[in-house]
Amino acid sequence: MDAEKDAGEDLACPSGRCREGAVLLGIMTAGGTLGYLSPVLPVDREFVARAERGGAADARFRFAEPCIRGGCGYWTGTACGLIDGILETDGLQDEGAEGRERLPKCGIRRTCRWFRQRGPQACRICPLVTRTS
């Protein structure tokens, strides 16, 4: 991934936090996968307050925020190290048969940092990603 390739573009991080200005990407199901919302919903102060009353909002929902590149601890200088690490750990480096699976319907794919960087591989693992901190 060439950092200059997306210079000036507003890409979205699909591992955002529950805070005003983010968008609600989806709801975590009882089975531990993400149920996507399409279109995504804007997160306002009232949503944050209600979500936090129900416990750890980041464990129950997934949010997207603008990718802050160098302002993020996962930024490698040229790319998002989070999605690269997830794919490496999960062993999804090879397309194989999984490359033919239908991708989940996602409200941010067009501007998603992970999709821009890793393509369909990122989309296939994304429903399984949960935020732990």
With a CB cutoff of 8 Å and minimum separation 6, the contacts of 34 are: 25, 26, 27, 28, 62, 104, 126, 127, 128, 129
pLDDT recorded at residue 60: 94
Q: Quick one: average pLDDT of 81-97?
A: 75
| pTM (2 d.p.) | 0.86
* Exposure of 24 in the CB half-sphere (CA atoms within 13 A): 18
Q: How confident is the model at residue 47 (pLDDT cuts 50, 70, 90)?
A: very high
Token pair for 104: 């989940």
Provide the residue ranges of all domains of the chain, joining segments of one domain with +: 12-126
Residue 69 has pLDDT above 90, yes or no: yes
pLDDT recorded at residue 21: 97
* Exposure of 127 in the CB half-sphere (CA atoms within 13 A): 18
Q: How confident is the model at residue 99 (pLDDT cuts 50, 70, 90)?
A: low
Q: Quick one: average pLDDT of 89-109?
A: 71
